[in-house]
Structure 1
Amino acid sequence: MGAAVRVRVPATSANLGPGFDTLGLALGLHDEVELTELDAGPSVVDVHGEGAGRVPRDERHLVLRAACATYELAGVARPPLHLTCHNAIPHSRGLGSSASAAVAGIVAACALLGPGKAPDDAAVLDLAARFDGHADNVAACLYGGLVVTWCEGGSFRGARLATRPEVAPVAFVSEHSSSTEATRGLLPDRVPHADAAFTAARSALLVHALTIAPQLLLAATEDRLHQPYRRPAYPATAGLVDALRGAGVPAVVSGAGPTVLALTTGEDLPDDLPTSGFTTLRLPIDTEGAAVTG
C-alpha cells in the first residue's frame, strides 16, 4: 500500500428559499473518507453508515469516480485505490450528500497528488460542480459557511461569505427520500415577471440577512420561483414549512427536499409543529468546509 489520506466533508443546504441554484450553506454534519493508493490489484470500496448495502462498492461509487476524474484532469496515471467511507449525511434528503461525495473524492485525490500536480482551487470547484451538477452545494461543501455561486466564461465560480454568529440552523430531516430530477421536473419553463423580480429581491435580501441583519430572515426566505411548484411532491414538507413560517420561524425546503431547514437565531421552536416523520437536528454552520484531517 502507498500514500493514504483522510478527508472530512460537511452536509450542505442549497437554495435557502429564494437563492435557487445560487446560494448554499455548509452544515455541521459530516462524512469522512479514507483514500489509499494501492500497489496492485483492483480498486476496493468499503462503506459504513448511510448508504451501506445500497451504494456500489466498485468503481461506480461516486467518491471513487470523482477521485478518478481528478487524476484524469491532472494528467496523472491513476493507481488502484482503496476507499473507505464513514457516512453520516442522509442520502437523497436535500442535504447535499452527492455533492459531499464528489467533493470528498476530489479533495482526497488532490491531497494524494500533492502540490504541483493537483488541480488549482478554481479547477477543483469547476470539476466538482460539473461532476455533481449543483455548484451551490459543492461550493458550500468545499469552502464552508455561506456561498454565492455563478457561471462565468463557461466555468463555475463561488464566493464565501461569513454569516452572523447568532444564525442557528435547525434541520428537520424527513424519513422519506426525494429525487432532485423528479422535483425539478415540476418546475415550469417560464414564471411570471413579477415572481422573478420578487424572488431576485428576496435573494439579495437573504444575503444581507444572513451576513448582517438576521431579524430580516423571515421576509428574506420567501420564494416564488421553485418551492410553490414542488409542493405536490412532498405535502408533509410543505405543511411543516407553512407551520414554521406561520409561527414566525424562517423556514425553507432544503435543496430539492424533502428536508426542511429553519434559519433560527437560537430561539425555542413551537411545541405543536407537525414533525411526525421528521428528525429534528440543530446543526451549527460549518465554517471550515472540506478538510484533510490525516
Structure 2
Amino acid sequence: MGEPVTGALRTVDITVPATSANLGPGFDTLGLALSFYDHLTVSSFDDDRLEIIVSGSGADEIPTDATNLVVRTIAHVFADAGRPMPGLRIVADNGVPHGRGLGSSGAAVTAGILAAKGLLAGDVEFDDDALLRLATELEGHPDNVAPALFGGLTIAWIGERGPAHKKLLVHRGVAPLVFVPGFTMSTSLARSLQPPQVPREDAVFNVSRSALLVAALTQSPELLLDATADRLHQDYRGPAMPETLRLVQALRQAGFAAVVSGAGPSVLVLADGPGHRQDAVELADSVTDTPWTAHMLAVDVRGGTVRNRAEGST
C-alpha cells in the first residue's frame, strides 16, 4: 500500500477504471466499467505547492499545472465543501488510453473526486449522490463518471434532484473485448456531427434496443447482437472515423455485438462468452489495414477506490 509521504498532511491512493459509454443504443445513458485502470497517489500539504508527475497514456500531453483536470476537480470539491485548497503532490500512472473513447476524462474527474473525498475524510463526508453530482458538474453528463465511480453496468440520468444512477450486475457470460487504434478522436467533434433532431422511427428503434440491452447484459447475453443496434449516433459520426465504422460493421455482419466505444475511435465487442473473443480478434486482423490493439477485459465491479495510507480504506 505504501508509506505516508514525509511532510504530508495526508496521502491517499486512488484506482479508477476505464469506462465505455453508450454501448450502442444507450446514448448518454448506459455505461460499463472495464478493467483498464488509472492509479494515482495524492498527498496534501499545509502550503501552496503543486507537483504533478504523470506516466503512462497521455503523459506527454497532460498539463502539470493548475489546469490539470484532477487538480481542477479537487479544487472544485474543496470549494463546494467550503474548505481551503491545500498544497498537492500528485503521482499518476495512467492505464486508461487517452482520446480513445474509454472515459479518460471521466476517469480523471473521478480520480479527483475520490482524492478530495479521501483528503477530507473525517472533516467532510460525501454520500454516493454527492459524489455523482460533483463529478457530473465537471464532466457535463453522468454516463462515464457513474460507472467509473460505482463499477459494473450503470444507467445514469438527470432527475428532479440532479444526477442519479442505478448499478446493475452484468451476466457472467458477457466477455468484453476492446480494439484500440493508434489514432484519437475528439469527443466534441464527435458530438458536433450528430443532427439536432432524428426521425421518430429511429428514436423508437433506440428506445426498444436500449431496453433490450439491459436485459441482454444482465440476463440474456445471446440477445446482445440485436440489443446493441443503434440509429442515433454511430452512423452520423462514422465519416470522422471510417476505419472504426468499417470494423464495427464487419464484426456485426459476422455476428459479434460490436459498437463504437463512447465517442470513439475504439471499438467495444460484448461477446457472449470468453471463447468467442479470439474469433473477433482474427476477423479484425483481416478486414482493416488500421492496426488495432486488442484487449480482452473484464467488467470492473468495484468502481473507483480510495485508500488513506495511514488509516486504511475510506
The answer to whether the superposition gives a TM-score over 0.5 is: yes
The corresponding residue for 1:160 is 167
Displacement of 1:154 in angstroms is 5.3
Partners in 1 of 2:258 and 2:247 — Cα distance? 9
User: Structure 2: 5+ residue runs without aligned partners?
Assistant: 1-7, 310-314
Task: Please tell me whether the aligned partners of residues 45 and 58 of structure 1 are also in contact (alpha carbons under 8 angstroms).
Answer: yes
Tell me, what secondary structure is at the counterpart of 1:257?
coil
Task: Please tell me whether the aligned partners of residues 56 and 93 of structure 2 are also in contact (alpha carbons under 8 angstroms).
Answer: yes
- Of residues 278, 283, 298, the one that matches 1:272 is 283
Task: Please tell me whether the aligned partners of residues 202 and 223 of structure 1 are also in contact (alpha carbons under 8 angstroms).
Answer: yes
Task: Please tell me whether the aligned partners of residues 99 and 134 of structure 1 are also in contact (alpha carbons under 8 angstroms).
Answer: no
Tell me, what secondary structure is at the counterpart of 1:22?
strand
Displacement of 1:272 in angstroms is 3.3
Partners in 2 of 1:272 and 1:166 — Cα distance? 21
- Of residues 14, 20, 27, the one that matches 1:13 is 20
2:206 aligned with 1:199, yes or no?
A: yes
Partners in 2 of 1:238 and 1:78 — Cα distance? 45
Partners in 2 of 1:45 and 1:154 — Cα distance? 35
Query: What TM-score do the two structures reach when normalised by structure 1?
Result: 0.97
Q: How does 1:1-294 map to 2 (within 5 A)?
A: 1-153=8-160, 155-264=162-271, 265-266=273-274, 267=276, 268-270=278-280, 271-273=282-284, 274=287, 276-293=290-307, 294=309
Letter in 2 for 1:112: L
Displacement of 1:130 in angstroms is 1.8
Displacement of 1:48 in angstroms is 1.0
Tell me, what secondary structure is at the counterpart of 2:134?
helix
Percent identity (aligned): 46
Measured against aligned partners, the alpha-carbon deviations of 1:204-257 in whole angstroms (never above 9, x if no partner) come to 000000000000000000000111111101000000001110110000000000
Query: What TM-score do the two structures reach when normalised by structure 2?
Result: 0.91
Partners in 2 of 1:158 and 1:137 — Cα distance? 11
Of 229-238 and 46-55, deviating more is: 46-55
User: Structure 1: 5+ residue runs without aligned partners?
Assistant: none
User: Aligned residues, how many?
Assistant: 294
Partners in 2 of 1:154 and 1:175 — Cα distance? 41
Displacement of 1:126 in angstroms is 1.1
Displacement of 1:52 in angstroms is 1.4
Partners in 2 of 1:249 and 1:136 — Cα distance? 24
Measured against aligned partners, the alpha-carbon deviations of 1:8-52 in whole angstroms (never above 9, x if no partner) come to 000000000000000000000000111101122421111111121
Task: Please tell me whether the aligned partners of residues 41 and 92 of structure 2 are also in contact (alpha carbons under 8 angstroms).
Answer: yes
